[in-house]
Structure 1
């Protein structure tokens, strides 16, 4: 059975943001590994099991980074959302796929966020907060994010009036 796809997809530019985030994360883990290796070498214990441990650490970091980079196009296919008068739906995951439905009347507040990578690509993230959790729609065009935020606020007002 094919998994249903929600209609709204992020702009293609979100792939660049994901690549940059992955490179920064990989860089941080490599710097930590280099620091630990230098510290172990300074202690003069970098031999035997420590050499193997650090080798495995660097191999895992590099393999994880390569796999994450290769899965970006696949991830993009399943990172979607949909807004209806009753609920917001978020689709995520590329191996284990999920669709989360958030009733409009459960929304407490909405935030917009824009980190440096999103800002460079002229993208924005909307964070929808409920009492129990928060949900992210990242990678929206700035104008679309502002309109979407306003649309959700209007839907929440209507839903709260109906209760």
Structure 2
């Protein structure tokens, strides 16, 4: 059996994922408030469905902002060598992906407003079949990873 990938994401990824969770929680609470207002006006669902939605919204908000980011960070690992990119991720179901470097078509770095706030970027690895992502690397590491995968892919292409 293969050894575990050795590289972890930076701990600032937890902060970025928590902020993202807070934004989703606000949207969820906004939808819940609309349902409650509809019920109070008499045109919405019965009161017990609002209570159920409220409990679900509270549970999801707590999980998305406290528990899930830490678990996600603990599980995420990656490793890159001249033959493949090895990704391990997942919270409840651990998924392991090996991407042959010779199948890589291009590599991108991506940075949205939340990642930019924390100086993080994601690396997207595209093959003919799909796109894989290493999320929330610090900007310098993301550039190094992108360049490393690109160089390995170029060397693999020359070997063919």
State if a TM-score over 0.5 links the two structures.
yes
- The Cα shift of 1:45 comes to 3.3
Matches within 5 A, 1:135-146: 135-146=132-143
| Distance of 2:76 and 2:51 partners within structure 1 | 34
Q: What number of residue pairs does the alignment pair up?
A: 158
Is the Cα–Cα contact under 8 Å of residues 5 and 78 in structure 1 kept in the other structure? no
Q: Deviations over 1:24-58 (max 9, x none)?
A: 1111111112123323433x235xx6211121112
What is the CA distance between 1:160 and its match in structure 2? 0.9
Q: Is the 8 A contact 2:85 2:98 kept in 1?
A: yes
The answer on whether the counterparts of 2:32 and 2:57 sit within 8 Å (CA) in structure 1 is no
Q: Structure 1-normalised TM-score?
A: 0.89
**Could you tell me how far apart the structure 2 residues matched to 1:110 and 1:58 are?**
42
How much is the aligned-residue C-alpha RMSD, in angstroms?
1.7
4+ residue segments displaced more than 6 Å: none
- Residue matched to 1:108: 105
In the alignment, structure 2 segments of 5+ residues that lack a partner are none
Structure 1, unaligned runs of 5 or more: none
Deviations 1:73-100 (A, max 9, x none): 2321111110011110111012211110
Local SS of the residue matching 2:4: coil
1:94-120 CA deviation, whole Å, 9 max, x = no partner? 221111001111111112111111111
TM-score by length of 2: 0.91
